[in-house]
Chains A and B, each alone.
Chain A
């Protein structure tokens, strides 16, 4: 039966012995930093969920956009 220490050692040894994996993890971290920090806070900073926080605000915003354009 696998115990917690064994599980930990699988990850520890795995990460320690990575070769191409090290490069991939660097890319993953850079990518996540760009996506989750830079893009989220500088490009997609104005999110519908955060600009209109209450239920009524959301409903009213969308309703105004759905009203007849004529």
Chain B
């Protein structure tokens, strides 16, 4: 497969996914913030809280409307650019996406209408329930797509059928409750909640700096900074579990996240570091130009044991007998056996030789877990691009730390002092809105670039997953999507800022 075609196909999917992830997190989190505010309104009967709820609900609607259906493009891309992948995954992808569409989206849409049009037309209780169900519905949508992505990182609950050349789900529950899927879901929705909280505190901070809507802004600030602080701390816990799962199931990704070439026990985490661009797998250059390490922390994070051995990229490529790590070359040999066995099986079935077919099937099943390695040309190809994964991970974690501090500071000052007096902090809250998006996108870079070269971990490399189509077609569609999404983003920013300038007294 031509390398340019694979790279453009990758770039196209990455572009679509990253733009989609601009709209989704705000929906995930703002839905709950709005539901909390409406709950306070229903409990207190305060018209002030009703006005606040309606204002943030309008911004929720703007984001929802602009973002809706942007994910459909990825489904088209599966069919055009990733045909081998979309067949190979079988019903593993199809089932979660179908549930997403039928259950979650319809639930959102139905109760969305009640949420917007039902004020003073349905009972307070029913309206409140509808608002909560919209929030829950959007998170349920996220569940199914993240279960599908979790399966790509750690394929479970399936059996490969050589007759159909696809994976068949044998346990829906193994797929749904895969520890990678669960930790990914919790961490991803947590990031949405933090991003939404940053959005609300940032907009509230703007009002306070302008000397406008003071009561509204302060109350919104308290709700959002409380929600943001709780979810930031949740993000720390879910991030810890995610890293633990990565250590167990995708150790090469963890090694890239930390720029770890040589594995060791009692491994530390690089808190701050600058990678040495001259460092490669085969030379003896220092991996870092500069690093500040927290001792034992990587062993603790990855394996919950400060003495644990954390494999480096070299151990995973060249093997480590002492630690029981086989070489990538051995995996490639097993993978080639699996691929050959599939061909032998197909030939035997064609010739109606059931004995040979059965023999081939046994070899295939014995080596299936390394199937994808059969397509790897060089053992070093299993190492993902280190710099993007390393820096994205550290940007994400550093920003996460900042957000936790920001929420704590805003909450404390809002409750104990007059937050309006802290203009530098309020300004930093506004600037933290785009930082939230950067952290979210950085997280996806870690997840998906760190997964390379795999489309499905160990089973299918990206080069095999892609369809052979004309590279120019992919390039044209890349720029078309870039244009479409940029226009949508500009429209969202314009409509949002207009509505924010109008303020909570405007219509919806």
A: which residues have CB within 8 A of B? 2, 6, 9-11, 13-15, 18-21, 23-25, 27-28, 31-32, 34-36, 39-40, 43-44, 46-49, 55, 58-59, 61-63, 65-69
Contact flag A25-B65 (CB < 8 Å), given A13-B121, A14-B117, A44-B77: yes
Instruction: Using CB atoms, name the residue of chain A closest to B119.
Output: A14
CB pair B507 A48 closer than 8 Å: no
Determine which of A19, A27, A28 lies in contact with B508 in the assembled complex, contact meaning CB atoms within 8 Å: A19
Stretch at the interface among B149-157, B231-239, B306-314, B335-343: B335-343
Q: Cβ of B58 < 8 Å from any Cβ of A?
A: yes
B311 to chain A, nearest CB (A): 29
Set of chain A residues within 8 Å of B491, measured between Cβ atoms: 27
Q: How many A-B residue pairs have CB under 8 A?
A: 122
CB pair A68 B88 closer than 8 Å: no
CB pair B375 A44 closer than 8 Å: no
A8 to chain B, nearest CB (A): 11
CB pair B476 A24 closer than 8 Å: no
Q: Cβ of B488 < 8 Å from any Cβ of A?
A: yes
CB pair B80 A48 closer than 8 Å: yes
CB pair B83 A61 closer than 8 Å: yes
Contact flag A49-B58 (CB < 8 Å), given A27-B65, A62-B88, A68-B343: no
CB pair A20 B499 closer than 8 Å: yes
CB pair B62 A20 closer than 8 Å: yes
Report the separation of the CA atoms of residues A10 and B60 in the bound assembly, to the nearest whole angstrom.
20
Report the separation of the CA atoms of residues A48 and B114 in the bound assembly, to the nearest whole angstrom.
39
B48 to chain A, nearest CB (A): 21
CB pair A32 B66 closer than 8 Å: no
The 10 A-B pairs at the shortest CB distance, nearest first, are namely: A14-B117, A48-B83, A47-B79, A24-B65, A44-B76, A19-B507, A62-B87, A44-B80, A43-B477, A65-B84
Q: Cβ of B415 < 8 Å from any Cβ of A?
A: no
B491 to chain A, nearest CB (A): 6
Instruction: Using CB atoms, name the residue of chain B closest to A56.
Output: B164
Stretch at the interface among B67-75, B187-195, B275-283, B404-412: B67-75
Set of chain B residues within 8 Å of A46, measured between Cβ atoms: 80, 469
A21 to chain B, nearest CB (A): 7
Instruction: Using CB atoms, name the residue of chain B closest to A65.
Output: B84
CB pair B68 A28 closer than 8 Å: yes
Determine which of A10, A27, A39, A58 lies in contact with B117 in the assembled complex, contact meaning CB atoms within 8 Å: A10
B: which residues have CB within 8 A of A? 58, 61-62, 65-66, 68-70, 72-73, 76-77, 79-80, 83-84, 86-88, 113-114, 116-118, 121-122, 163-166, 336, 339-340, 342-343, 346, 374-375, 464, 467-469, 473, 476-477, 480, 484, 488, 491, 495, 499, 506-508
Instruction: Using CB atoms, name the residue of chain B closest to A9.
Output: B121
15 A-B contacts, Cβ less than 8 Å apart? A10-B114, A14-B118, A15-B117, A21-B61, A31-B69, A32-B69, A34-B484, A43-B476, A46-B80, A48-B79, A48-B467, A59-B87, A62-B166, A66-B339, A67-B339
Determine which of B113, B480, B488 lies in contact with A31 in the assembled complex, contact meaning CB atoms within 8 Å: B488
B461 to chain A, nearest CB (A): 11
CB pair B66 A27 closer than 8 Å: yes
Set of chain B residues within 8 Å of A35, measured between Cβ atoms: 69-70, 72-73
Set of chain B residues within 8 Å of A31, measured between Cβ atoms: 66, 69-70, 484, 488
Set of chain A residues within 8 Å of B477, measured between Cβ atoms: 39, 43-44
Report the separation of the CA atoms of residues A7 and B164 in the bound assembly, to the nearest whole angstrom.
48
CB pair A62 B117 closer than 8 Å: no
Report the separation of the CA atoms of residues A28 and B467 in the bound assembly, to the nearest whole angstrom.
30
Report the separation of the CA atoms of residues A15 and B506 in the bound assembly, to the nearest whole angstrom.
17
Instruction: Using CB atoms, name the residue of chain B closest to A16.
Output: B117
From B87, B164, B477, B480, residue with most partner A Cβ within 10 Å: B87
A27 to chain B, nearest CB (A): 6
Report the separation of the CA atoms of residues A55 and B163 in the bound assembly, to the nearest whole angstrom.
11
Report the separation of the CA atoms of residues A59 and B161 in the bound assembly, to the nearest whole angstrom.
11
Report the separation of the CA atoms of residues A46 and B474 in the bound assembly, to the nearest whole angstrom.
12
Set of chain A residues within 8 Å of B70, measured between Cβ atoms: 31, 35
Set of chain A residues within 8 Å of B467, measured between Cβ atoms: 48
B123 to chain A, nearest CB (A): 10
Set of chain B residues within 8 Å of A27, measured between Cβ atoms: 65-66, 488, 491
